[in-house]
C-alpha cells in the first residue's frame, strides 16, 4: 500500500479544474504546476513506471512559454497550461511514439494525432508519453505498476495513462479502448475516465486495432476534468450542459450476463453505490438487458480479431521478425474467424445499439454497471486484468464513465461505470458530476 496522503496545497494533488482556476486567476503559474507534477513523478515513477517518454527540462520550458502567453495574450481556454499524458500509441510530433513495439522503438511521427492538436490549440501541453500494452492490443505489457500496490497491474492497455492520473503525476491523460483498455485502468488506479460515444472523437493519429471498436478516451481527477476536455473536443451537447440532481435520478442497476465474473470487491462496489445513491434520493432498480446482449462479449472478440487481421499486415510484411507472435497470429487468422462470424458480430451489435438507447427515457436516466471484475490482480508482467466488464459497452458504442470511490478488501480502488445512450455523452457527464460526490469521498 502506497496510497498518497492528501495535501490540499500541493499543485500535483489538484484536479485539472482546480489547477485551471488558480492559473486563470494568476494564483499559480503553469511552471509551478508543472514543477510540482515533475517532483511527484521524480518521487514516484521509479516504482510506478507510468512514463514511456518524459523530458522534465522540456516540460518546464513549455510551461514557461505558456506562462508568457497567459500574461501577454491571455488564456487560450480553461485548459491553458494544463499538462497531459498521451498513451504511447497516439502520435506526437515532438516526442517519439513507440507503440511499445521494438519495431517502433525509434519512431518519431511527423504529426500530432488530432486529439493532441486540439488540446494544444486550447493551451494544454503534452507532459510525456505513457506506457501502453504493445500496440494497445497484446504482446508486451507496459512496465507500469499499480500505484496503490506495485505488485499489481494498473490495468491495460492504457496502463501508464491510468496510473499517471491515479497516482497524481499528471491531472489528465489520454487512453484508448477496444475491449476494456480505458475504463478498467480507471477502476484499478482510482481515477475518473470517460470512453465517449464511438466515432465522435477523431481517432486520426492513433494506432488502430479494430476501427469498429477503437475509441479514444481520457482520464481526469474529477468529472469537471472530464468535462474540460469534452468541451475542447466538442462533445455533442456539451455547450448546453444542464445540471442534474441525484434526487429522483432513475438508475438501472445492470449486473449483465458478466456478473458471474464479479469478485466480492466489485459486488461490494456496486452495492455500496446502490445504497449511497438510494440514500441520496435516486431511484435504483434492477435492470436486465435483453437476452441477445449476452452475445456481445463474444461478438466483440470476433470484431476485434476480424478487423485486426489487416491492421498488422504492413508490419507482418515489413517487420516480421520484430512483430510479436500475438500479431502474427492475428494476420494469419490463427483462430480461424470466418466472414460469416464477422458479419454476425457486426450485425448483432448493430441490432442491440438502438435497443440499448431505447431503454433510456422517462424510466431510466443512467445505467450503473461494473468497471472491472474486482481489484487489480497481481503480476503486472503477466496480466492487465479482464476486459469482460467493458467490452460490451465498447461494441455498443455507448459512452461510459468510471466513478472511483470504493476501496476493495486489499485497499485498492474499485470503480463503477455509469453508461448512457449513444451521443448522450454530455448528459452522462452531467449525471456523473451529480453522482460523483455521492460515491467518491474525495469528490464530496
- In the complex, the residues that contact a second copy under the rule CB under 8 A are 108-111, 114, 117-118, 120-122, 199-204, 207-208, 211-212, 233-234, 236-237, 307, 309-311, 313-314, 317-318, 331, 339, 342-343, 346-347, 350-351, 353-354, 357, 422-423
Please, which residue, 53 or 346, has the CB nearer to a second copy?
A: 346
Q: CA angle, 85 as apex, 127 and 402 as ends, to 5°? A: 150
**Measured from the CB of residue 386, what is the shortest distance to a second copy in angstroms?**
26
Catalytic residue, chosen from 62, 87, 120, 330, is 87
CA distance 85 to 98: 14
**Measured from the CB of residue 330, what is the shortest distance to a second copy in angstroms?**
12
**Measured from the CB of residue 422, what is the shortest distance to a second copy in angstroms?**
6
**Measured from the CB of residue 232, what is the shortest distance to a second copy in angstroms?**
9
Catalytic residue, chosen from 101, 161, 181, 372, is 181
**Measured from the CB of residue 346, what is the shortest distance to a second copy in angstroms?**
8
CA distance 413 to 434: 20
- CA distance readout (Å), 224 to 103, 171, 262, 433: 38, 11, 29, 7
Pairing of the two strands 283-286 and 250-253: parallel
Contacts of 135 (CB under 8 A, 6+ apart): 89, 99, 100, 101, 207, 209, 312, 327
To the query of whether residue 49 is one of the catalytic residues in this protein, the response is: no
To the query of whether residue 181 is one of the catalytic residues in this protein, the response is: yes
**Measured from the CB of residue 364, what is the shortest distance to a second copy in angstroms?**
17
Please, which residue, 422 or 433, has the CB nearer to a second copy?
A: 422
**Measured from the CB of residue 288, what is the shortest distance to a second copy in angstroms?**
23
Q: Are 181 and 219 in contact (CB under 8 A)?
A: no
**Measured from the CB of residue 344, what is the shortest distance to a second copy in angstroms?**
9
Q: Are 371 and 417 in contact (CB under 8 A)?
A: yes
Angle between helices 296-311 and 339-358 (to 10 degrees): 130
Dihedral sign, Cα of residue 112, residue 116, residue 121, residue 124: negative
To the query of whether residue 157 is one of the catalytic residues in this protein, the response is: yes
Count other C-beta atoms under 10 Å from residue 203's C-beta.
18
Please, which residue, 276 or 342, has the CB nearer to a second copy?
A: 342
Q: Compute the CA torsion angle 46, 51, 57, 63 (nearest 10 deg).
A: -120
Please, which residue, 61 or 111, has the CB nearer to a second copy?
A: 111
Catalytic positions are 87, 157, 181
Amino acid at each position: 500500500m502506497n496510497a498518497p496522503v492528501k495535501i490540499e496545497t500541493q499543485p500535483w494533488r489538484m484536479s485539472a479544474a482546480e489547477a485551471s482556476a488558480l492559473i486563470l486567476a494568476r494564483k499559480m503559474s503553469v511552471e509551478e504546476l508543472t514543477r510540482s507534477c515533475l517532483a511527484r513523478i521524480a518521487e514516484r515513477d521509479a516504482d510506478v513506471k507510468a512514463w514511456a517518454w518524459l523530458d522534465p527540462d522540456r516540460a518546464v520550458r513549455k510551461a514557461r512559454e505558456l506562462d508568457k502567453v497567459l500574461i501577454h495574450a491571455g488564456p487560450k481556454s480553461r485548459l491553458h497550461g494544463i499538462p497531459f499524458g498521451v498513451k504511447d500509441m497516439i502520435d506526437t510530433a515532438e516526442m517519439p511514439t513507440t507503440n511499445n513495439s521494438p519495431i517502433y522503438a525509434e519512431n518519431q511521427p511527423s504529426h500530432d494525432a488530432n486529439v493532441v492538436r486540439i488540446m494544444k490549440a486550447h493551451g494544454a501541453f503534452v507532459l510525456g508519453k505513457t506506457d501502453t500494452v504493445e500496440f494497445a492490443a497484446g504482446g508486451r505489457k507496459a512496465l507500469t505498476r499499480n500505484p496503490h500496490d506495485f505488485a499489481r497491474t494498473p490495468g491495460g492497455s492504457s496502463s501508464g495513462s491510468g496510473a499517471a492520473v491515479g497516482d497524481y503525476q499528471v491531472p489528465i491523460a489520454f487512453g484508448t479502448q477496444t475491449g476494456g483498455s480505458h475504463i478498467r485502468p480507471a477502476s484499478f488506479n482510482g481515477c475518473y475516465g470517460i470512453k465517449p460515444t464511438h466515432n465522435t472523437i477523431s481517432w486520426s493519429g492513433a494506432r488502430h486495432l479494430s476501427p469498429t471498436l477503437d475509441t479514444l478516451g481520457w482520464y481526469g481527477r474529477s468529472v469537471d476534468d472530464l468535462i474540460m476536455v469534452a468541451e475542447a473536443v466538442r462533445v455533442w451537447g456539451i455547450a448546453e450542459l444542464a445540471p442534474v440532481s441525484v434526487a429522483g435520478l432513475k438508475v438501472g442497476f445492470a449486473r449483465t450476463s458478466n456478473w458471474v465474473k464479479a469478485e466480492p470487491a466489485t459486488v461490494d462496489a456496486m452495492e455500496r453505490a446502490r445504497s449511497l445513491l438510494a440514500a441520496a434520493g435516486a431511484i435504483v432498480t434492477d435492470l436486465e438487458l435483453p437476452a441477445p446482449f449476452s452475445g456481445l462479449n463474444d461478438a466483440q472478440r470476433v470484431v476485434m480479431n476480424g478487423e485486426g487481421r489487416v491492421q498488422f499486415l504492413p508490419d507482418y510484411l515489413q517487420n516480421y521478425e520484430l512483430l510479436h507472435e500475438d500479431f502474427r497470429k492475428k494476420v494469419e487468422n490463427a483462430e480461424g474467424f470466418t466472414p460469416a462470424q464477422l458479419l454476425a458480430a457486426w450485425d448483432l451489435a448493430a441490432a442491440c445499439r438502438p435497443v440499448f438507447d431505447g431503454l433510456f427515457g422517462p424510466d431510466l436516466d443512467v445505467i450503473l454497471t461494473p468497471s472491472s471484475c474486482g481489484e487489480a490482480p497481481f503480476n503486472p508482467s503477466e496480466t492487465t486484468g479482464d476486459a469482460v466488464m467493458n467490452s460490451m459497452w465498447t461494441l455498443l458504442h455507448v459512452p461510459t464513465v468510471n466513478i472511483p470511490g470504493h476501496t476493495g478488501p486489499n485497499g485498492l480502488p474499485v470503480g463503477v461505470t455509469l453508461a448512457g445512450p449513444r451521443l448522450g455523452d454530455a448528459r452522462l457527464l452531467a449525471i456523473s458530476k451529480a453522482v460523483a460526490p455521492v460515491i467518491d469521498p474525495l469528490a464530496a
